[in-house]
Amino acid sequence: MSKVEAAARPKRWYKSLFVQVLIGIAAGIATGILAPGLADHFKPLGEGFIKLIKMLVAPLIFLVIVTGIAKVGSMKALGQIGGKAMLWFMTATTCALGLGLLVGNLVHPGRGLNIDPSTLDTSELDAKTQGGHLPGGVEFVMNIIPTSVFDAFAQNSLLQVLLFAVLFGVALASFGESAPPILMDVIDQALHVIFRIVGYIMYLAPLGAFGAMAFTVGNYGADSLKSFGILILACYGAALVFIVVLSIVVKLLTGVNAWKFVKYCREEFMLALGTGSSEAVMPRIIKKLDNAGCDRAVVGLVVPTGYSFNLDGAAIYLSLAMMFLAQAVGVELGIGEQLTIMGILILSSKGMAGVPGSAFVALSATAAAIGAFPVAAVALLLGADRLMDSMRVFTNLLGNCLATFVVAKWSGMLDTEKMHAVLDRGFVPDDPDDVAAHPHPSHEIVLAPVELTKKSAPVDAEMAVRNA
């Protein structure tokens, strides 16, 4: 068989990760509905898969950032990237919070419930939060500094690993051409090894999606949906509006088509929805953004930082949930109180990562701060919170990805030719590290990558075949 025939041969549908994960999610939903009593038995499948991915996140971030900074080689450039990222994060979060409050005022999801907070059982709420609290400003900054480098990796603290990686990358870049080439080769090869391991783990993705979805539907499915239908519809509707507006703005700023990007990363988005965790797809998202033209230094800084500072989906949910709780207990919040809620959540949402039951902690802290209704009312959301995960995960993940394109464009580090080749013309760079995408390398010939630069001509399928 010739190279052209091998390259043109379509991949069997059942070998597609997207199809496999979709089947796993469908099977999980069916199992949760038909056999809810078995839901807890499937929970380890989802948790085990997520843990396998998380064990690679810290070293992956370190290697991606170090290799990216080594190319940039300027502390000033890094500071500009970080400043632009934070500006975008703050703007997006503020808009998301404002949208949640607006929808709450228009839809009134909690009106008519007339709940007496004194009748609510808060024991489950205490168990969910485990006595956690959102760190203050000084505490948050101090928590970014690890006790030791090894502790940062052991605790899988993304911001602490990020700090060490930036310092290591800047120090390495300061050597310039005098830096030992073998060191960069080792770091680069280690990055390839990590991506190869990710490829192995992705074989378990359908099982992980099945287990997580079966547990969710079995424990929080039909009953919660009936009780909180208006709130759930309001949250998902607000998220849809936010995504559409965000996509238009990003399209005008960068030329990125959000729909084509979601299609390009459909396996990752489907897996994130199935497992209820955006961290489960972080390694593959980082690789996909790199392949789509975003400079590695920008990807390495923006993506992990966004997991703590750019939680657009969570922001929509938190502000709308506050409106729901107030309305459910018969309290009407004034404009001043709603602005106070927005101000508190702008700050508190930045410290949510890593806090047990972070959404409930943030809601409790905000309710206590405004004093308009009892904190015990937050227990109302115990049944509905898990059903919001799909909205939060999808919106958070897409928001971080689009933020990466925006920051890369602002910093002059977005290869638009490569971006359009990948997203618009379907060019797929050869990825030898992704064994899940190429399960039988000995029998399938994969097109060699075509080096794309800002001066390169458009790449089509025939050119890719000729270059193979």
- Ranges of each domain in the chain: 13-467
Q: Which residue has the higher pLDDT, 227 or 390?
A: 390
Distance of CA 439 to the CA centre of its chain: 26
Q: Which residue has the higher pLDDT, 225 or 408?
A: 408
**What confidence tens digit (pLDDT) does each residue in 128-147 have?**
555 555 555 676 678 778 88
* Top CATH class, 13-467: mainly alpha
Contact 302/85 with Cβ under 8 angstroms? yes
Which phi and psi angles does 111 have, rounded to 5°?
-65, 135
**What confidence tens digit (pLDDT) does each residue in 274-294 have?**
877 778 888 889 889 989 889
pLDDT higher than threshold 60 for residue 6: no
How is residue 380 annotated by DSSP?
Answer: G
- Report the pLDDT value the prediction gives residue 243, as an integer from 0 to 100: 95
Q: Where are the alpha helices (DSSP H) in 111-157?
A: 123-129, 137-144, 149-154
Contact 325/378 with Cβ under 8 angstroms? yes
Among candidate residues 156, 184, 153, the one with its CA nearest the CA of residue 296 = 184
**Cβ neighbours for 121, distance < 8 A, ≥ 6 positions apart:** 379
Averaged pLDDT score across all residues of the chain: 77
**What confidence tens digit (pLDDT) does each residue in 383-441 have?**
677 777 788 889 999 999 999 999 999 988 888 899 888 888 776 665 555 555 444 44
Most confident of 8-12, 68-72, 213-217, 464-468: 213-217
Distance of CA 267 to the CA centre of its chain: 13
| Cα–Cα distance, 111 to 253 (Å, whole number) | 40
pLDDT higher than threshold 50 for residue 466: no
pLDDT higher than threshold 60 for residue 203: yes
State the Cα angle at 357 between 356 and 358, rounded to 5°: 90
Contact 210/27 with Cβ under 8 angstroms? yes
Supply 404's token pair.
Answer: 């990466």
**Cβ neighbours for 131, distance < 8 A, ≥ 6 positions apart:** none
| Cα–Cα distance, 13 to 417 (Å, whole number) | 30
